[in-house]
Structure 1
Amino acid sequence: MQGSTDYFLTSGDKIRFFFERGVFDKKGEFLVPKEKSINKIGHALHAYDPIFKQMTHSSKVQELGRKLSLEKPVVVQSMYIFKQPGIGGEVTPHQDATFLYTEPLGRVLGLWIALEDATQENGCLWFIPGSHTGGVTRRMVRAPPGSTPCVQFLGSEQPYEDSQFIPVPISKGGLILIHGEVVHRSELNSSNSSRHVYTFHLMEAKDTIWSRENWLQPTPELPFPSLYL
């Protein structure tokens, strides 16, 4: 599990690389070309990479924030997700608020930008319509210091039927807004085409408490930056 190591837990204010499962042999040697082994890069591209910083704080994104009546939106994390051809891993049904919990709920929004066409064949997103109204039944929190793994889950994930989900394919350059409590997933990419995306999360900071139990925390080196630079 990516969240089981300190490398993950301390990545919120850094740019780090996370590999797909099954890309190494028992000796730690690559079983696939290195450039095809990466699952994602995260979680502070928006702060330290000039291209992604410009994209995150672009006038279009800022205009969108204002149209959504976000008064004090801050950027909490960012990721470049590769969904590699043939091995791009399944993302099981989840709610973003499980990992990015706020009080009150409803203050986290994901922006998911397709850098390539996302199809049912290469692992587009699937959603359960209306599921953002049911609250959060599971949370991932930091475990006590010295524990292994360094995160743990509170509560339980609800069972979901495949028939509840609808696919949302999207063309290159398209944007999907993801409510923090909507249940969504993506399937294994068994096609010959990758599915690159850039995604980041905003939080409306006005009158909002960011849980101190979240795995991701602002740091002195990188407080959550305002969207409206």
Structure 2
Amino acid sequence: MTSNTRLEYLAQEQIDKFHRDGYLVVSGFLDTDTVTALLNRSKELLTEFDINDHPLTRFTTGDDNHVGDDYFLTSGDKIRFFLEQDVLDQNGKLTRPKEKAVNKIGHALHELDPLFRKVTLENQHIKRLVRDLGFHHNPLALQSMVITKQQQIGGEVPEHNDSTFLYTDPPSALGFWFPLEKCTAENGALSFLPGSHLTAPITKRFVRLPTGGTGFEQLPVPADCSGTPPLTGGYVLECCEPGDLVLIHGSVLHKSEKNRSSSTRFAYTFHMIESPPYATYDEKNWLQPTKAMPFSRILT
């Protein structure tokens, strides 16, 4: 982590809040035209994808039943579509239109789609913010997604931290989460446990299993965390407006409830990790760069 003497985008109070709470809401980061363009493009992608040759891969988040088929494991350099858990009948047929059945689109939007690439890799505000935050020396971008949180069925995402799924040694994941629609308590806004990044160590990592598929590998608990007292506060719901940015420390605990409303909750998100020699991202991780598409550097 670096220190900054001249800030380009963030105020020092915002930086201090991020390091204290493990997340930060930056209001109005994207302008209205950009948000509208991202939302429209997301809906275009849902309309354009062909369900007839789709393997009907559903995105699941439980520890005992996490997605891990080839369609998922080879999606790091592609734009693919993952269905909600409850959209297939007993015969494997969709129970609703395909546009309303997708949980998320991923995982290389920031590389392959010009609009998402412009917002992610060519965004000068992001570069200035990254330099101000000082979280990384030389960050790499990976795992971009549109999460649709479909009305009535958009699944609950249980308590987790992002470094479990994008593990580096030492942990260095940082999430950038942009609501493209209003996020409310009814449609699944994010909730955070402030300060948990300082008290909850990374105890497991999501990996490719040698036998195929995915699973969790247990990690040793650092000695300096074994006697850490529990937090006294509870989760904080962060309702957001379209165009806000939520910065998410890779170790902070967060979650979202099922969307039980009549409104979707589209959001665009991507992650950064530290590059060598400051951190190691190894071949055990489920998402792997390829020779044709290595992880892109943010500050170049």
Both structures adopt the same fold (TM-score exceeding 0.5): yes
Aligned partner of 1:114 in structure 2 is 179
The DSSP-based 3-state class of the residue aligned with 2:297 is coil
3-state SS of 1:103 partner: coil
1:129 and 2:194 aligned: yes
**1:53, 1:26 → 2: CA distance?**
39
Give me the whole-angstrom Cα distance separating, in 2, the residues matched to 1:130 and 1:43: 29
The answer to whether the aligner puts 1:3 opposite 2:74 as a matched pair is no
Distance 2:240 2:88 in 1: 32
Q: CA deviation at 1:143?
A: 0.2
Give the 5 Å matches for 1:134-149.
Answer: 134-144=200-210, 146-147=211-212
Secondary structure at the counterpart of residue 35 of structure 1: helix
1:10-64 deviation digits (Å, cap 9, x = unpaired):
1111111000111111222221122111100000000000000001021111111
Aligned amino acid, residue 173 of structure 2: V
Identity %: 47
Q: Return 5+ residue gaps in structure 2 as ranges.
A: 1-59, 61-65, 220-229
* Amino acid across the alignment from 2:115: I
The amino acid that maps onto 2:161 is Q
Q: Could you say which structure has the larger radius of gyration?
A: 2
Supply the AA of the counterpart residue of 1:178: I
Q: Does 1:203 align with 2:273?
A: yes
Q: Which residue of 2 aligns with 1:213?
A: 284
Measured against aligned partners, the alpha-carbon deviations of 1:123-143 in whole angstroms (never above 9, x if no partner) come to 000111111012111211110
Shift of 1:73: 1.2
Look up the match of 1:56.
120
Q: After the TM superposition, list the runs of 4 or more consecutive aligned residues in structure 1 that deviate by more than 6 angstroms.
A: none
Matches for 1:148-159 after TM superposition, within 5 Å: 150-155=213-218
Higher relative contact order (CA 8 A, sep 6+): 1
Question: Aligned to 2:288, what secondary structure does the other structure show?
Answer: coil
What is the 5 A alignment of 1:163-178? 164-178=234-248
| Cα distance in 1, alignment partners of residues 201 and 77 from structure 2 | 28
- 2:22 aligned partner: none
Larger mean Cα displacement after TM superposition, 134-143 or 117-126: 134-143
Question: 5+ residue gaps in structure 1?
Answer: none
SS at match of 1:211: coil
Say which structure is richer in strand.
1
TM-score scaled by length of structure 1:
0.91
Q: Distance in 2 between matches of 1:154 and 1:205?
A: 22
Which residue, 159, 166, 175 being the options, matches 1:100?
Answer: 166
1:190 partnered with 2:253: no
TM superposition score normalised by structure 2:
0.70
Partners of 1:4 and 1:102 in 2: CA distance:
20
**Higher normalized helix content (fraction of residues):** 2
What is the CA distance between 1:87 and its match in structure 2? 0.6
Letter in structure 2 aligned against 1:86: Q
Structure-2 residue corresponding to 1:181: 251
- What is the deviation of 1:74? 1.0
